[in-house]
Amino acid sequence: MLAFELNVAGPVHLEMTGKFVAPSSDWIHLSRILQDYELIIMTEGVLYLAGDDTRYTLSKGEYLLLPPYTRQYGYKASGCSFYWLHFKTAGGPAVTDSTGHTADQTETRLLLPQCGTVKSLEKIIVMMKQLQDSVRSYNQKTLNNYMTTVILCELYNQVFHNEHSPVKKTKQEQLYNDIVDYIKWSRSEHIKVSQLAAYFGYNVKYLSHLFTTISGIPLKQYILQQKMELAKFLLTDTNQNISEVSLQLGYKDCHNFMKSFKKIVGLTPTDFRNAYAKRLLFYE
């Protein structure tokens, strides 16, 4: 798989960023030659995009990184939405094969595969929205450059580092990972620890102890944290009101949701939304 080696000894240079929403299902990406790197992170629908002679089909939760001087064009109608940012790094684009290069990683270089799936789309999107708010609120280059670099570092840790970890998983670690996946897929439901124990065939005390031993936090607390991560994404990326967000997370009482959110995040849902309210939205 192709990967790009990015120099992060200093911050990368942000050129532009925004969120794109296709005006219709017939929209096709324009044709152009990129003058810088472009990172695309999908949030909805499917994007049919080509880079030179390679065609990509990108769905929600997937990303694509295209280097400078790439001939970029849509090859099929795409009803979709995605976050994007353009940036430059010191030196020209370095292309390599990502296989077998983990030993060469340093704190000043990131080796990012050209495309892949992010582990936590919500976290990346919140960071992208914070960057956009910074651009609109301050437009201070140094701040924006560092925030862009942090996003790339987060993407690297989500995609590359975790996928290539050589650590062999034990039976307990695999069970822990299965619990984590179950919770992430069920965050819109009212999840109880007893429900998890019944699903995986263990008693509540054993499952709770196992999870706390590996993660360092109680299972019940982790469930709540994951719900609030999804809540932050919905407050950041949608225009749903607080009641709609609470219902989507499985809360019957909006006040209970607001109380839980304030406890975990430190802000009310409204204060959190207002803190990073200035999204940059594009339709062309």
> Considering the entire predicted model, what is its pTM?
0.79
- 98 pLDDT above the threshold of 60: no
Count of CB atoms within 10 A of residue 231's CB?
A: 26
Q: What is the full DSSP assignment across 166-214?
A: -PPPPHHHHHHHHHHHHHHHTTTS---HHHHHHHHT--HHHHHHHHHHH
pLDDT of residue 252: 87
- 99 pLDDT above the threshold of 90: no
pLDDT of residue 190: 85
Greatest Cα pair distance in the chain: 58
pLDDT of residue 90: 79
- 164 pLDDT above the threshold of 50: no
The average pLDDT across 2-15 equals 92
Report the percent of the chain where pLDDT is more than 70.
89
pLDDT single digits (tens) 198-210? 999 999 999 999 9
- 114 pLDDT above the threshold of 60: yes
pLDDT of residue 270: 93
pLDDT single digits (tens) 116-126? 999 889 999 99
Domains of the chain: 2-163 (2.60.120.280), 171-275 (1.10.10.60)
pLDDT of residue 165: 46
CA dist., res. 135 & res. 132, Å (int) = 5
Band the pLDDT of 45: cuts 50, 70, 90: very high
CA dist., res. 129 & res. 277, Å (int) = 8
Q: Pull the structure tokens for residue 104.
A: 């060469």
161 SS3 class: helix
Kind plus residue range of the DSSP H or E element containing 32: strand 32-33
Average pLDDT, the chain: 88
The average pLDDT across 76-82 equals 96
Nearest by Cα to 134 from 117, 146, 116: 146
pLDDT of residue 93: 59
pLDDT single digits (tens) 208-259? 999 999 888 999 999 999 999 999 999 988 889 999 999 999 898 899 999 9
The average pLDDT across 262-284 equals 84
